[in-house]
Amino acid sequence: MQDILINWTPQETRVAVVENGAVQELHLERALERGLVGNIYLGKVARVLPGMQSAFVDIGLERAAFLHVADLFGARSDGNGGGVPLPIEKQVFEGQTLTVQVIKDPIGTKGARLSTQISIAGRLLVFLPQDKHIGISQRIGSHELREQLRARVQALAATPDGSAAGGFILRTNAEDATDAELADDIAYLRKTWAAIRQRALSQPPGTLLHQDLTLAERVLRDLADEHTQTIRIDSKLQYEHLLAFGRAYTPGAVGKLQHYQGERPVFDLFNVDDEIAKALARRVDLKSGGYLIIDQTEALTTIDVNTGGFVGARNFDDTIFKTNLEAAGAIARQLRLRNLGGIIIVDFIDMSREEHQAAVLAEFRKQLARDRTKVTVGGFTQLGLVEMTRKRTRESLAHMLCEPCPTCGGRGQVKTARSVCYDILREILREARQFDPKEFRVVASPAVVEMLLDEESPHLAGLSEFIGKPISLSAEPSMNPEQYDIVLL
């Protein structure tokens, strides 16, 4: 069973999903940094790139958004068979106005990714205004039930003339929906699309036509399910807003909604802030004494499993096996908690027995099956690594909460004081050959100055004698370990 905690302030909304007393997911939305996925804009084509089969579209953001030919709706065949789409330069042109939807947020230096295949999510259905297809969530497994649901939606979606105005995809939570609930969702989605089209006719390019729900509203629509016991929110204003929203769109979740009025902050109920701090750390300790090392880079994320101080098993093989089994569950949780996406490489401790590898891989896949995000896992490679991918739809927790260290620039390490000392000595020699000051003054961090006065003082004195100029030192506490200035006096 799960509990959902919502910590709301005017500047930020934080959501924690807690299962069996442990935090499994963290969601964050800041008023100034709301995600763009799902937003619909009136865009203007700024540039078409035939070589990349893509276009850059101005939707009013800081960076132009990216539209690939595969994301154009209704790409027609070129007449040669095989359903090959027309080249993008034959479908769009510079200056053209397009109604587009963001399908991926801007990440790093990349702009948002767009599609002209519009979809609008409701509580039970996803509306495809340009399509006529009725699709069913893959998580609804029964073939008979799928066909029954398809027939019901086709009947409910039919217009008075017998045609279907737009297509629909049934979400997983539509499995037990009544006809009345489905009809209400269809009416709401069509009304929303009509308003979008009306705005598109009257507004200039770069206008936001439709914005996705807030994080708090998406909790009721997307996160709450039959396993949810309570949804606690600490804001009276937002509680009343969610009550009204829930009664209109998610009546099944309204009974679970509670206004939290306790003296302790709502996140303190399950030590969520402590979990956030741990989720930003590089090292994750396991209960057995082993630990994980998680390194996130631009291209991929690596996770290394170590036995650490665990010596509880009968032999070394069993120690490794038990550590890897525990790590499998911990890694699956960390992926959700940190929202790590893209390519992920897991380096489990080498196991000599194939049955141990199979058991660890099975446990890993079992734990990952609880993930709401699409995950693909391969087997063990020849090097003993597990390669996997996790769909990336938004920034990771670390990217949302942190920025590169101003001291090391994101490297994670700085030069030693001795290395900086030698840099300074080389720089003084270089400048002595170009200039003729009366004196050189070195301004550096206290640790560097102390080393120059102590262990490196013979080298400093030797350099001063060699160039024939005095060298003075000045400690500046505000300087980071790698910073220094050489002043010519």
> Which range (76-80, 126-130, 181-185) has the least confidence?
76-80
CA atoms within 13 A on the CB side of 360: 32
Q: Say whether 431 sits in a helix, a strand or coil.
A: helix
State residue 78's pLDDT score. Answer: 47
Which has more confidence, 395 or 232? 232
- Quote the pLDDT of residue 204: 93
Give the best-scoring range by mean pLDDT among 66-75, 403-412, 423-432: 423-432
> Looking at the predicted structure, is the pLDDT value of residue 313 above 80?
no
| pLDDT score recorded for residue 291 | 93
Q: What is the pLDDT of residue 83?
A: 61
391: Cβ–Cβ under 8 A, 6 or more apart, which residues? 341, 373, 374, 375
The percent of residues above 90 in pLDDT, for the chain, comes to 53
pLDDT(179) > 50: yes
Is the model more confident about 403 or about 429?
429
Is 60 exceeded by the pLDDT of residue 202? yes
| Per-residue pLDDT at 310 | 61
The predicted pLDDT at position 224 comes to 85
Q: Which of 13-17, 161-165, 287-291 has the lowest mean pLDDT?
A: 161-165
Is a pLDDT exceeding 60 seen at residue 27?
Answer: yes
Decide which of 142 and 472 is more confident. 472
Least confident of 76-85, 299-308, 447-456: 76-85
SS3 161: coil
The pLDDT of 246-254, averaged and rounded, is 83
Can you give the pLDDT at residue 77?
Answer: 45
Ordered alpha helix ranges (H), 227-377: 236-249, 251-254, 272-279, 316-338, 354-368
pLDDT digits 0-9 by tens, 124-176 = 899 999 888 888 887 777 788 888 888 998 888 887 665 557 899 998 778 77
Pick 108 or 405 by higher pLDDT.
405
Task: Using pLDDT thresholds of 50, 70 and 90, give the confidence band for residue 80.
Answer: very low
The pLDDT of 209-216, averaged and rounded, is 88
pLDDT of 55 reads: 94
Measured between alpha carbons, how far is 74 from 209 in angstroms, rounded to an integer? 21
β-bridge partners, 26: 16
pLDDT computed for residue 79 by the predictor: 45
pTM of the model: 0.70
Count of alpha carbons within 13 angstroms of residue 387, beta-carbon side: 6
Q: Looking at residue 75, what is its pLDDT?
A: 58
Q: Phi and psi at residue 482, in whole multiples of 5°? A: -95, -10
Place 267 in a pLDDT band, splitting at 50, 70 and 90: very high
